[in-house]
Amino acid sequence: DVQLVESGGGLVKPGGSLRLSCATSGFTFSTYTMHWVRQAPGRGLEWVSSISSSSSYIYYTDSVKGRFTISRDSAKNVFYLQMNTLRVEDTAVYLCARGPDGYNPIDNWGQGTLVTVSS
């Protein structure tokens, strides 16, 4: 079975940093694009970032450009989201997800990890 398990969430002050991890299993990690999607409390889904299987294609939503960095480690089947200069509006459940490389839908999701940015 495909499994995606996030970790690294928590409470952080504005301006602080966190690194989220997503451990994967049950599929060939090196052939999939991996995504981070967030959901603020009581709100809808917001796509945050993606990284292609070879790490050649990396994309971010405008509101996190220059602050967040996505990366992957194919030897460990894990990918990451380094979040710097966090803002109150970054508070959300962050879900990791996968999709086939290229322009394809997200087909599997993790349960999410909560990031709370508050003083």
Partner 1 sequence: DIVMTQSPDFLAVSLGERATINCKSSQSVLYTSTNKNYLAWYQQKPGQPPKLLISWASIRESGVPDRFSGSGSGAIFTLTISSLQAEDVALYYCQQYYSNPFTFGPGTKVDI
* Footprint on this chain of partner 1 (rule: CB under 8 A): 35, 37, 44-47, 50, 59-62, 95, 97, 99, 103-112
CA distance 82 to 58: 14
Local structure of 29: helix, strand or coil: helix
The residue assigned the tokens 């322009």 is: 103
Closer to partner 1 by Cβ: residue 59 or 82 = 59
Q: Does residue 42 come out as left (phi exceeding 0), alpha (psi in the -120 to 50 range) or beta?
A: left
What is the nearest approach in angstroms of partner 1 to the Cβ of residue 39? 9
Q: Which is nearer to partner 1, 16 or 52 (CB)?
A: 52
Minimum separation from the CB atom of position 2 to partner 1 (A): 12
